Amino acid sequence: MQNWLGGTYSSSAPVTPSDTTRINCRAILVEGAAGNIVFTTGPIGAPTGPVTIPVLAGALINLELNEGLINAATTATNLVGFA
């Protein structure tokens, strides 16, 4: 278990923005540069989005994705997903 800024997570992994690679997470940490996170929620047959949110470097964003996407248009760098 990892405890990060008040949240408890069982795993973490680097997130590479992609328009095809689906991920499951409860939060995203921006370890690199500020920018935008562009994401799509929902299952493969019924996606919702994409949605763009601006983020600062060091931000932990509560973003629960169940087979969602962090789209390739994302400009924030060095993302880590927590599940």
- 29-57 pLDDT, tens digit per residue, is 999 999 999 999 877 777 788 999 999 99
> Is the distance from CB of 74 to CB of 23 less than 8 angstroms?
no
Cα Rg of the chain, angstroms:
12
* pTM score, whole prediction: 0.86
Name the residue range of residue 47's domain. Answer: 2-82
pLDDT, tens digit, for every residue of 5-15? 556 788 899 99
SS3 letters across 9-49 = ECCEEEECCCCCCCEEEEEEEECCCCEEEEEEECCCCCCEE
Number of structural domains found in the chain: 1
By the 8 A CB rule, do 32 and 50 touch? no
Under a CB-based contact definition with an 8 Å cutoff, are residues 70 and 78 in contact?
Answer: no
